[in-house]
Structure 1
Amino acid sequence: MQRTITRVLLVVFGLAEVPVGLWPLISPSGFYQQFPGFRAGWVAMDGPFNEHLLRDFGGLNLGLAALLIGAAVIGTTTVARLAAVSALLFGVPHFVYHLGHVGHFPRIDQVLIVATTGLGVLLPLALLLVPARRVSPPATP
């Protein structure tokens, strides 16, 4: 069984993925021009608009959100770890890409991009490191 901290991390991480998934599906051009919302242009500064790619990215993030939240609901450590590995398989290449492609952004954006994409690696790593809850054997009379 999962520990409470595992469930909380899964739900928080999953909920954070929902807007990043919905936004490009609802408004690909809006996501392209305005992401992340508080500092516009992170996607637009990285290449030409590609609606297909943005819709795929949105669907991927919604799928990841469903997996993370579903893992919290199911409640087993094995499923939580599977969700964490899945998040890492997306998060590590995403983070590594951004490490090498932030030079054209203002310094504050560089820091924010590296920090936010780094969370996509740190959160699943934390999920993998939380030990499973020990199940006590039933007491015998």
Structure 2
Amino acid sequence: MKPGSIKKWLRGGLLTLATLQTVVSVWQYVFPRSFYDDFPTVNLDPPYNEHLLSDVGGLGLALTGMLYFAAWVLDSKVVLSALIGYLIYAATHFTFHVRHFDHFSLLEAFGVGTGLGVEVVLALVLLHVAGRVHRAESDPPAT
């Protein structure tokens, strides 16, 4: 695969993650009560806390900005830092949920686990690709 096509694929993946994070984060930040009441399975978590949800939404928006910026500039160091931050968030979010399925139906647990797991896998794949791009860009040209 040529570096140009890898970068296009990488940009598409970054924009996908950024778009998903935008939807959830804006909903959490702007309409925290609606997120708590209407997002599937959130009502199975501990009681509603507007401050916590709006803060988490704001943090998600910050991460969203990093992902969009990384997709725009495609500087390998920026891309790697955005993906590392996203992966940490996605992995800890996934880990929390797979350990707290007590009140979930099998279908709810499968949906949450799969959805959050896909985000972790996509971030890992993009991180691998970004690492390869970074190494290729960092290697001195052969003479």
Q: TM-score range by the shorter chain?
A: 0.7 to 0.9
Q: 1: distance between equivalents of 2:73 and 2:85?
A: 16
Q: CA deviation at 1:27?
A: 1.4
Q: How does 1:28-39 map to 2 (within 5 A)?
A: 28-35=32-39
User: Which residue of 12, 17, 32 maps to 1:13?
Assistant: 17
- What residue in structure 2 maps to residue 119 of structure 1? 118
- What residue in structure 1 maps to residue 42 of structure 2? 43
Runs of 5+ consecutive residues of structure 2 not aligned to the other structure: none
| Structure with the bigger percentage of helix | 2
**2:136 pairs with 1:132:** no
- What residue in structure 1 maps to residue 28 of structure 2? 24
Q: 2: distance between equivalents of 1:78 and 1:6?
A: 13
Q: CA deviation at 1:29?
A: 0.9
- What residue in structure 2 maps to residue 64 of structure 1? 63
SS at match of 1:5: helix
Q: 1: distance between equivalents of 2:14 and 2:71?
A: 6
SS at match of 1:3: helix
Q: CA deviation at 1:103?
A: 2.7
Contact residue 103 and residue 110 of structure 1 kept, 8 A: no
Q: CA deviation at 1:79?
A: 1.1
- Which string of whole-angstrom CA distances, capped at 9 and with x for unpartnered residues, describes residues 99-130 of structure 1? 11113111111001001111231121111111
User: Which residue of 3, 10, 16 maps to 2:7?
Assistant: 3
Runs of 5+ consecutive residues of structure 1 not aligned to the other structure: none
Q: Which amino acid aligns with 2:28?
A: P
SS at match of 1:49: coil
**Count of aligned pairs:** 134
- What residue in structure 2 maps to residue 79 of structure 1? 78
**Alignment RMSD (CA, Å):** 2.1
- What residue in structure 1 maps to residue 92 of structure 2? 93
- Structure 1 segments, 4+ long, off by >6 Å, are none
Q: Which amino acid aligns with 1:132?
A: V
SS at match of 1:95: helix
Question: Percent identical across equivalent pairs?
Answer: 32
